Structure 1
């Protein structure tokens, strides 16, 4: 059941963010992230959605929905976050999930880009799965030297 729910969330994100072809051959732009533009620092909404962040010391994050609120139907939500974790948690994540060099900087909303730590960024499917669950898919990036985790998540 959990796997089925995860697949449904990921499919909704792909369909929401993907391009749609119109009958006349034009292609619609991908759905964009929209939100209030508020840079948040409260931890509880993050730790509630992502139990693996229970040890978080601080966070800077933004959230919202994909596309326009004028479209009917359920919304797909996004969260982009830069989280400071204890060194012991960073070591635990690195040992348990063996992330590798991302080769690029995570893609986050403009309002959070200034908060990104300098790389190198480490990522991998096992690390992503440590933060994704039934209702949320996640792309996670570690920056061990800065005790930072960058989380780019999509959910319902």
Structure 2
């Protein structure tokens, strides 16, 4: 095979390879419904049993082109009584780190103003069964933001 033919074949292979789309990253998908019912949240996160209100969304996490078991997500803003906020702070010592909750875009307008208190102990206190939780406590407003993934 001549060098020109070999170069042309290699160029064609590279061109085809460049035209393939890069795999899409895993993403949250759902119905877009903003929910306010507490029972499904309390069932998954019993620590929220004293919550007085919530605004939340949920769905599945992954890529549409890859079949398999589903991972579920819940992004929630949960309203707590002042005594529960103080109990969480006292028991788990979360601190202001400057972190912001990474929730689905549709829930961003529902987020309380910070600063948010966060910490591994607070996250661990809210986790239940197969749900991993990142939590953000807005002490002044008495709202807890949950960013949760589970199976």
Structure 2 length as normaliser, TM-score? Answer: 0.83
User: Offset of 1:69 from its aligned partner?
Assistant: 5.0
* Distance (whole Å) between structure 1 residues aligned to residue 32 and residue 62 of structure 2: 15
Question: What residue number does 1:115 align with?
Answer: 110
Question: What residue number does 1:73 align with?
Answer: 68
User: Offset of 1:28 from its aligned partner?
Assistant: 3.0
RMSD: 1.7
Question: What residue number does 1:129 align with?
Answer: 124
What is the number of residues matched between the two proteins?
Answer: 133
Answer 1 or 2: higher relative contact order, Cα 8 Å, separation at least 6: 1
Maintained 8 Å contact 1:34/1:68:
no
| Distance change in 2, residues 1:30/1:68 (3 Å) | closer
SS at match of 1:72: coil
Which of residues 29, 32, 45 is equivalent to 2:40?
Answer: 45
Which stretch has the larger CA shift, 58-67 or 97-106?
97-106
Question: What residue number does 1:149 align with?
Answer: 144
Maintained 8 Å contact 2:134/2:146:
yes
User: Offset of 1:27 from its aligned partner?
Assistant: 5.6
Structure 1 length as normaliser, TM-score? Answer: 0.80
